[in-house]
Chains A and B, each alone.
Chain A
Amino acid sequence: MRITRYAATLGALGLVLAGCSSEAGQQAGEATENAPEVAQDVEFPAGSTMAELAEAGTITVGTKFDQPGFGLANPQGVPEGFDVEVAKIVAGGLGIAPEAIEWKETVSANRESFIQNGDVDIVVATYTINDARKQLIDFAGPYYVAGQDIMVATGNPQGIEGPDDLAGKRVCSVEGSTPAQNIRDNYPEAQLTLFDVYSKCADALRNGQVDAVTTDNVILTGLVQGGQGAFELVGNPFTQEPYGIGLAKGDDEFRTYINDTLEQSFEDGSWAAAWDRTAGAITGEPAPEPPTIDRY
C-alpha cells in the first residue's frame, strides 16, 4: 500500500518535471529568433559568481522601467530596450535564457544600495561610470557612451544651440541626476527647474513653463519621440557619459567575465544587433562604434 503511494508520488513528480522541461524548451526555441544566444554547457571556476548564477539558472537584473529605448516596461510589465538586451547578452553567456532573468526596477537614487544589499546581481540602467560610485560598487563596461544634450520646443524659439546659451533660461532636469549637477557646477547662470521624472520636464516644456530640457541624449531622444513633433533635439552633446554595468564591489572575476562577454558581443555583431532592435529603432541611426572597455 505504502509502496504504491510512493510510486504514485514519484510518477506525478516525474510528470511535473517533464512538463517543466518541455515548456522551457519551447520558450527557448521562440526566444532564439530575436534574442542573444544562450550558451550551452558553460564551465566556470568553482565558487565564482558566474558558477553560482549558472548553477541557479537565473540572474536578477536591475534596470529602468521608464526609459524609452533603454529600459521601458511593456504593458505586461516586462522591460524592453538596449539595457535589457545588453543584460540578456551577459545572462546568455552564463547559459541563462532571457525568460529566466528576473527584472527589478531600479531608479537613479537606489542603484548603489540595491547592489550593495544584494537585491540584484547586476544593474544595467543608463548607469554613468564615475569615481564616487566606484567607491561603493564596481563597473564593467562601458557598453555605450552617451552625452548630455538639450531638448527645446520645435523651431527652437529661444535659439539655444549649446549649454552656453542656457544662461538666464529656465532649464529642466531631474533632481539627483548627473546632468542636473553638471548644470549647477558648470553653467550656474541657467535657472534649474527640477522634477523627479523626465516626463514632467516634457510636460513643462510643452506648457512653456521651461525653455529647455537637458539630460543624456538617449533619454531626450525617447522624449522627442513621445512628444509627437512638439520637441526637437539641439544635437550638440557636451559631455561624455559612459554607461557601465554595476556589480558588487570587489568581485573582479565577475567583472572580467562581463567585460569579456561585452567585448565578444562587440565583435560578433550581437551588440550592434541589440542596438538596431531597440534604441536604434527609435532614433533611426545605425549602431555607433562600440566603446573601449575600461578594465581598471
Chain B
Amino acid sequence: MDFVRENADLFLDAFLTTLGLSLLAGLVALVLGTLLAAMRVSPIPPLRGLATFYVETFRNTPLTVVFFFIIFGLPQIDFVIGFFPGAVLSVGLYTAAFVCEALRSGINAVSAGQAEAARAIGLTFGQSLREVVLPQAFRTVVPPLGNVLIAMVKNTSIAAGFSVSELSSLLPRLVNADAGDLTLVLVGVVVGYMVITLPSALAVNRIERRVAILR
C-alpha cells in the first residue's frame, strides 16, 4: 500500500495527461473527421479525391510512423512542434481517418430519398448535409464511433515513446525503479485506462438508446 501512496501523485499526473491527450485528440478527430466525411460525399471531385487520399494515407500508416513523422520529421523542414501538441496532432490526425469512415457509412445509411427531398425543397448541398443528412448519420454511427474513440484512448499510449509522460510511461519508470512492484504498477495503469474507457462505453450505450432511429 505504501507503494501506491508514494506514487499517487505520479499516477494522477499521468492519468490527467492521458485524459487531456484523449479529449484534445478526440476533438481534433471528430471535427476533422466530420469535415473529411463531408468532403468524401461532396459533389466536387477534387475535394472527394483529397479526402480519399487523406483517409487512405492515415488509415494505412501505423500510428508510430505518424508520430515519428510529426515529432522528428517535421523539424527537418524547420517546423518544430512541442511533444504534447505533437502527440495531440498525431493521434487526432490518425483517428480522424477512422471517424470519417465511420461517419461516411452512416451517411450512406441515410436513404437517398432524404437527400433528394432536401435538394428538392431548395436546400444547398451544405444545408442538406447539415440539416438533414448528418444529424441522421450521427445517430446511426454512435456505436462504431464509440469504438473508434475508445480505441483512440488506448492508442494514446504510443505517446509514451515520444516524451509524453502519460499512463503507460509509468510502466518502464516504476518497474525499473522497483521491479518487485510490477503487478501493482500494471494494475494501476490498467485501472487508469479503464476509468476513461469504461464510462465512455457506458455513455455510448446510453446515447445509442437515446438517439436510436426507429426504422
Contact = CB atoms under 8 A, between A and B. Distances in A.
Nearest to B169: A175
B151 interface: no
B131 interface: no
Size bracket, chain A contacts:
20 to 34
Contacts of A172: 163
Interface residues of B, number: 23
Given A109-B172, A194-B165, A203 B72 contact: yes
Contact of B160 (A136, A180, A196, A209): A196
Contact of A193 (B72, B76, B163, B176): B163
Interface of B: 71-72, 75-76, 80, 83, 160-163, 165, 169, 171-180, 182
Nearest to A207: B75
A193 B76 CA distance: 19
B182 A113 contact: yes
Interface of A: 108-109, 112-113, 132-133, 135-136, 172, 174-178, 180-181, 193-197, 200, 203-204, 207-209
A109 B165 contact: no
At the interface, is chain B mostly helix, strand, loop or mixed? helix
Given A175-B169, A204-B72, A108 B161 contact: no
A136 B177 CA distance: 12
Given A193-B163, A200-B72, A109 B80 contact: no
Nearest to A197: B161
Nearest to A194: B163
Nearest to B182: A113
Given A200-B162, A203-B72, A209 B176 contact: no
Given A196-B161, A207-B75, A176 B179 contact: no
